Amino acid sequence: MSNSNTPAPDIGSAAPHFLGTRIRGLRKRRGMTLAQLAQLSELTAGYISQLERNLAYPSIPALFNIARSLDVTIQWFFASEVPTAPEDQGVVVRKNSRLSVHYEDGIVDHLLTPQPNRQLEMLHSRFPPGTYSQQSYSHDGEEAGYLLCGSFELWVGDRHFQLSEGDSFSFSSQEPHRYGNPGEVDAVVIWVITPPTF
């Protein structure tokens, strides 16, 4: 079984604590034990327990495997501490009410499209210096991205690309892919995925 080798971060009181609660709540609603979810997601029960108790953040591939095992997309785990104004629902996402999810190493995705969305989702992804998705993963759909700032590395299948600020990319999500920030400043990517299978 695969697992993250990154030590559990010190998740302070100011950090959002909704991810573990949402994983545990959905797992229990599905009538699934930790061991069953671990087997389906190819992670260890101990690692999932750490996530559910908010003692660690998941890697992107780990959360993708958990979501797939629970029959949802990663978008299901996004949450916000600020509610959306009723007049904005379904159309506008205000900066202070974006839904977000936090991964290991400080990587953060903010959902820029409202829920429920239709044929696409747009993400604002921030990668601190030296952070990488360690494992390739694939899913249905297509995706494209625009590097707003910083530098970015992208692997799609057997191909490797180095991107600079202002570069963009597009590929089939069915090809195994991974990515990371080789630079010394945050990399920010605006990401579009269709359909919203991530």
What structural domains and CATH numbers belong to the chain? 18-77 (1.10.260.40), 86-194 (2.60.120.10)
Q: What is the mean pLDDT of each run of 10 residues along the chain (198 residues)?
A: 41 56 94 96 96 92 93 88 86 91 92 83 96 89 97 98 98 96 98 86
CA 13, chain centre distance (Å):
21
- Describe the chain by its helix, strand, coil percentages, rounded to 5: 25, 30, 45
Whether 127 contacts 186, CB under 8 Å: yes
pLDDT value at position 17? 65
The answer to whether the Cα torsion of 71, 103, 173, 177 is positive or negative is negative
Whether 154 contacts 125, CB under 8 Å: no
Mention every residue, 6+ apart, whose C-beta is less than 8 A from residue 167. Answer: 146, 147, 152
- Nearest CA to 5 out of 49, 62, 77 is that of 62
pLDDT value at position 196? 82
